[in-house]
Structure 1
Amino acid sequence: MSPVYSTAFAVLEMKPEPYAVAPILAARVGIAALAEEPVHAIALRAQVRIEPFRRGYSEEEGAGLADLFGPRERWPATQRSFLWMHCATMVPGFTGGAEVDLPMPCTYDFEVTGSKYLHALREGVVPLLFLFSGTVFIKGSGGFAIQQIPWDREDKFDMPISVWHDLMAAHFPNTGWLRLRRDTLDALTAYKSGHGLLGFDDTVTRLLARAEELP
């Protein structure tokens, strides 16, 4: 088993990656190497979790979170930390300390718990927990030596929900994503074509209106 390497990590900032084709957040991570020898590289990994119990919610936000946590009186039991994503990057060599952008690919798929949670928030912050791990490459007696990042390296960061809203507005302006079964999609397509509708927004809007007209 590889020895551990003494390092510390801190999330300094989070912002949308402006030139990415797909929605990606960039987390600026500060790294401090507590040993004196230079680091040749780090294969850095992070598990990013959302801790919903660390903030309060308005009535409007609570209604949007009912699908995840149930009625508000059950939240003390249901609001547990949950996984948002895994992400990774290669950190180039440094001595003493460095800062690096950790890319965080995001999705607006409402079947994903993280997207559903973030969509419900209107203001405030997203309480995140970063759990860091990975491999550190340093100089050894016969070339490179490998050491592991200690298992307990973590940092909490409160990301303004406006960062998420800005990211999704840039890639999916005034839209969202829903995954449907193939047979459901085929039925919607047939309904749309059969009624001469221009798009799926018109199709769903008409179906909802007719459902409201039923006794």
Structure 2
Amino acid sequence: MDLTFTVLDVAPERYTVSPVLTARIGVAASGDDPVHAVALRCQVRIEPLRRSYSDGEAAGLLDLFGPRERWVNTQRTFLWQHCTAMVPGFAGHTTAALPLDCTYDFEVAAAKYLHALRDGAIPLQFLFSGTVFVKSERGFSVQHVSWDCEDRYDMPVAVWRELMAQHYPNTGWLRLSHDTISALARYKSARGLLDLDHALTELLADASQREASP
């Protein structure tokens, strides 16, 4: 039995504690025997070469790929995540929900890449694998999803931004050492600032002013 997989759409999940996108996957099976279940695995990768970038986006991608003139050597497809789903029994074709757990941690390359994009689409590649349980007149049999099952999907950047706005409205996450946090807290308190955000803003403004000075 051969299975084919098609990514139909990707949308934010509304009621989750942490950010989750759901990819709706179309699954079609050849042959007459019904599928009892599919233990589906998927590797989701980002293909940065499949889209163009504005100058503003290029500035945000500097840490990942370097300056534009180096992109021919530095832009490569990279892993976003591994995910799994159980597909209930069906005959012929069905749809399945594949959850994509997301993070806004800027130490993660994918989050840094996604944050840099302003509009257009995110070029995704879905590589499917897993185990197929087939029920026939001869009983149950177990097969593997073919290694060449894959699909590409261009997810609108707006979908990612909607998900982040839902969980982190007008905020983001930075991972700092305990010493850095303590130093920022002392700086904030000594100057009577409202929070660490204001402390960082003041420090950045001072640095910009020094750079602008002759």
Q: TM bucket by the smaller chain?
A: over 0.9
My pick for the range that moved more, 149-158 or 131-140, is 131-140
Please say if 1:39 is aligned against 2:32.
Answer: no
- Of residues 156, 179, 191, the one that matches 1:160 is 156
Instruction: Tell me the residue number matched to 2:59.
Output: 63
How many angstroms does 1:66 deviate by?
1.2
Superposed CA deviations along residues 23-78 of structure 1, whole A, max 9, x for unmatched, are 11110100011122111111111100000001111111111111111110111111
Task: Please give the TM-score of this superposition, normalised by the length of structure 1.
Answer: 0.92
Distance in 1 (CA, whole Å) between partners of 2:184 and 2:136 is 63
Please say if 1:84 is aligned against 2:80.
Answer: yes
SS at match of 1:111: coil
Superposed CA deviations along residues 107-131 of structure 1, whole A, max 9, x for unmatched, are 0111111111111111111000000
- Of residues 187, 191, 196, the one that matches 2:192 is 196
Distance in 1 (CA, whole Å) between partners of 2:150 and 2:25 is 11
Distance in 2 (CA, whole Å) between partners of 1:191 and 1:105 is 36
Runs of 4+ in 1 over 3 A off after TM superposition: 140-144, 212-215
Distance in 1 (CA, whole Å) between partners of 2:190 and 2:143 is 63
- Of residues 48, 71, 83, the one that matches 2:44 is 48
What residue ranges of structure 1 are gaps of 5+ in the alignment?
Answer: none
- Map 1:105-144 to 2 at 5 A: 105-139=101-135, 144=140
- Of residues 173, 180, 183, the one that matches 2:179 is 183
Task: Please give the TM-score of this superposition, normalised by the length of structure 2.
Answer: 0.93
How many angstroms does 1:86 deviate by?
0.8
Distance in 2 (CA, whole Å) between partners of 1:129 and 1:212 is 40
Distance in 1 (CA, whole Å) between partners of 2:130 and 2:19 is 24
Distance in 2 (CA, whole Å) between partners of 1:142 and 1:113 is 48
What residue ranges of structure 2 are gaps of 5+ in the alignment?
Answer: none
Distance in 2 (CA, whole Å) between partners of 1:93 and 1:193 is 60
Distance in 2 (CA, whole Å) between partners of 1:196 and 1:35 is 72
Amino acid aligned to 1:32: A
Check 1:98–1:187 CA distance in 2 against 1; reply closer, same or farther (3 A cut): same
- Of residues 2, 6, 9, the one that matches 1:6 is 2
Q: Among all aligned residue pairs of Structure 1 and Structure 2, give the percentage whose two residues are the same amino acid.
A: 60
Amino acid aligned to 2:144: Q
The number of equivalent residue pairs is 211
User: What RMSD over aligned residues (CA atoms) do the two structures have, in Å?
Assistant: 1.6
